[in-house]
Structure 1
Amino acid sequence: MSQRIWVLGAGQLGAMLKHAGMPLALDVCPVDINESSAPELAVDDLVTAEREQWPETLVTHALAQHPRFINQNVFGRLADRKTQKELIDSLGIATAPWRNVANDITANELRDQLGERVLLKRRTGGYDGRGQHWLRTDDDEVPGDWQGEAIAEQAINFDEEVSLVGVRNAAGECVFYPLTLNLHLSGILYASVAPLARLQPLQAQAEQMLGNILNALDYVGVMAMETFRVGDQLLINELAPRVHNSGHWTQAGASISQFEYHLRAVADMAIPAPQVIGQNVMINLIGTDYNPQWRNLPCARTYWYGKEVRPGRKVGHINIVSNNITEVRETLVLLGDLLPEHYYRDAIDWSLSALESL
């Protein structure tokens, strides 16, 4: 009988974990947290999650209380940006200067401490550009209902946004993918490019940063570390204790995907180093309808999530991979013609430019 692994949450990440479990003979079962009844878990079942936080429901109570819920004590600590920042600081790892928003602290006090441009972030939730509030001018104020519910960060004049996805097993072994270059628009990831030879000099620095965090938490599974590159230094922006959008390129571009790695670590299987397959570009599909012509693109694979299409919502992604850089570029141009006009102006041109700097 195959090992059963329950996934708290049944979104696209849960679906991709289920798919990755099939070749490993793992019975991966994503569960909608709002189901009217909770599943019955066996003593030897395993539990993981596709999300950092969750409301109290019948399902989440059943899964989160299971003694074999891997990283059970980590999720809450990293889902709260305040305790996440405190962890990073305690390990002496570089991150954007920050302050807790509490005790009726004013916008002027925060600017005095952090600089002219300050970004407020809700302590929990608020991904994909939500849950943020800028303090840019003397007229801006801290919203009253953000006191005690947010942190304030110094705005970083970064050169680029770079992420590292790594995996750690229960024995403490760690494996990392190459650094990934990312494009965010209005807080939403639109494109990723990996690998890039020019980022290789930063790889050891990034692996040490994330490795220290994984070991400090005794973490098991995949974690993503989003960073700002400022010159030849990296500053942590945020951590995600789960498989991550910026690692989606590994589905087509590596011998072992991030989803398979996560399951391997959780199920205590081997985690051999990945072999990267060619040059990779991942384009997120944001609020756009499905186009059957995507299937005709050379060296491209479409992953459609089956979700209702709404503005600003991630509904799929396309991985482009080839050992022929010209083929990657040509496929990007063809894809641009099949996407809304702003993609050409933003994600496609950005990806083409990134490939010029290999």
Structure 2
Amino acid sequence: MKQVCVLGNGQLGRMLRQAGEPLGIPVWPVGLDAEPQAVPFSQSVITAEIERWPETALTRELARHPAFVNRDVFPIIADRLTQKQLFDKLNLATAPWQLLSQKSEWPAVFDRLGELAIVKRRVGGYDGRGQWRLRADETGQLPDDCYGECIVEQGINFTGEVSLVGARGHNGDTVFYPLTHNLHQDGILRTSVAFPQANVEQQAQAETMLCAIMQELNYVGVMAMECFVTPAGLLINELAPRVHNSGHWTQNGASISQFELHLRAVVDLPLPQPVVNSPSVMVNLIGTDLNYDWLKLPLVHLHWYDKEVRPGRKVGHLNLNDSDTARLCATLEALVPLLPPEYASGIAWAQMKLG
């Protein structure tokens, strides 16, 4: 029997465990509270749900384990500096950028990158944390400890954001889901919309880029690539070497979810192209209390993470999919009064995307 240990025990590890059950694959998410004697890591394949996992004696051992798939890839992608250097090496389109080493570089930064600079910590920082949008008169807001530990990018005037979730097997074969359209607010993904047929040109460009990255790294498993949509084509924003929030719609909207696809890849099971037959919408639940009235709507699938509800914290998501976009839009409309007011704009955006 194949077994998988997951570095990290957040919601992604939880959903990997759920996906393993029907396959007969025991999945062991490993966090701070894991008991070493209860985790059969010596007989397991090792993967991760997050780029920076909890630090314990057990997780250190797992991170060195010879069966840790992509062990040497994580440091490259977890550091935005080496991630950007990878894009440049492969001649893949991304926002112009540079390492931000010292304060004296600011005049040259704005000369080169334009009036809006996006500063990102090299490691850590997600969901809008560890990032700053600065103009020339605002650089004093940046903490001193950022210098040498951040990259700075040109602020891109994009028309939309999309992500591609794909997987590569041990034999080098790759499969991809259709592009997902994403709406972020304050750096946090609020809503995603996916269609069975994506824009052909964008899908082809995205698949070519992500395939090149996975092949270069000899990567195995699911990887997500976030992109800006611009008139000149897609620009890669960031990579995630794991299952990703923008792929959660696949749990109910595809024949194989991203979580099952990742497990299949890392334990070397067949990796067919997932089938997507209808449009899907995913609504992130952020700092919002559980409300079972959502389930009165027949298209709604609730995925609750059983985490303490705190402002800004992802505590669950709702998936909706249907071949009838009018019915999908009507269900989204019926959700609005069942959610806090700040969800209305994201739902309106999804309805607009569904047309």
TM-score bin (small chain): over 0.9
- Counterparts of 1:98-247 in structure 2, within 5 Å, are 98-141=97-140, 142-195=142-195, 197=197, 199-231=199-231, 233-247=233-247
- Counterparts of 1:289-308 in structure 2, within 5 Å, are 289-308=289-308
Q: Which moved more, 1:32-41 or 1:69-78?
A: 32-41
**Contact map agreement 1:285 1:317 (CA 8 A) in 2:** yes
Matched, 1:254 2:254: yes
Residue 62 (structure 2) aligns with = 63
**Contact map agreement 2:178 2:197 (CA 8 A) in 1:** no
Deviations 1:162-209 (A, max 9, x none): 000000001000000000100000000000000175623311111000
Q: Which has the higher helix share?
A: 2
**Contact map agreement 2:221 2:266 (CA 8 A) in 1:** yes
Counterpart of 2:254 in structure 1: which amino acid? A
Residue 10 (structure 1) aligns with = 9
Residue 311 (structure 2) aligns with = 311
Question: Would the alpha carbon gap of residues 105 and 90 (structure 1) be closer, same or farther in structure 2, given more than 3 Å must change?
Answer: farther
Query: Secondary structure of the residue that 1:107 maps to in structure 2?
Result: helix
Point out where structure 2 has 5 or more consecutive residues left out of the alignment: none
Question: Would the alpha carbon gap of residues 181 and 270 (structure 1) be closer, same or farther in structure 2, given more than 3 Å must change?
Answer: same
Counterpart of 2:108 in structure 1: which amino acid? E
Query: Secondary structure of the residue that 2:273 maps to in structure 1?
Result: coil
Counterpart of 1:217 in structure 2: which amino acid? L
Structure 1 ranges of 4+ moved more than 3 A:
33-44, 103-106
Measured in 1, the distance between the counterparts of 2:11 and 2:39 equals 23
Deviation at 1:143, TM superposition (A): 3.1
Q: Which moved more, 1:110-119 or 1:177-186?
A: 110-119
**How many equivalent pairs are there?**
354
Counterpart of 1:287 in structure 2: which amino acid? G
Deviation at 1:319, TM superposition (A): 0.3
**Contact map agreement 1:294 1:335 (CA 8 A) in 2:** yes
Q: Normalising by structure 2, what TM-score?
A: 0.96
Question: Would the alpha carbon gap of residues 26 and 196 (structure 1) be closer, same or farther in structure 2, given more than 3 Å must change?
Answer: closer
Point out where structure 1 has 5 or more consecutive residues left out of the alignment: none
Q: Which moved more, 1:125-134 or 1:137-146?
A: 137-146
**Contact map agreement 1:51 1:242 (CA 8 A) in 2:** yes
Residue 323 (structure 1) aligns with = 323
Measured in 1, the distance between the counterparts of 2:197 and 2:53 equals 38
Measured in 1, the distance between the counterparts of 2:291 and 2:187 equals 25
Residue 347 (structure 2) aligns with = 348
**Contact map agreement 2:98 2:153 (CA 8 A) in 1:** yes
Measured in 2, the distance between the counterparts of 1:68 and 1:248 equals 26
Measured in 2, the distance between the counterparts of 1:228 and 1:174 equals 23
Q: Indicate the RMSD between aligned Cα atoms, in angstroms.
A: 1.5
Deviation at 1:232, TM superposition (A): 5.1
Residue 337 (structure 1) aligns with = 337
Query: Secondary structure of the residue that 1:109 maps to in structure 2?
Result: helix
Deviations 1:84-131 (A, max 9, x none): 000111000000000101144433221112110001100011100000
Query: Secondary structure of the residue that 2:311 maps to in structure 1?
Result: coil
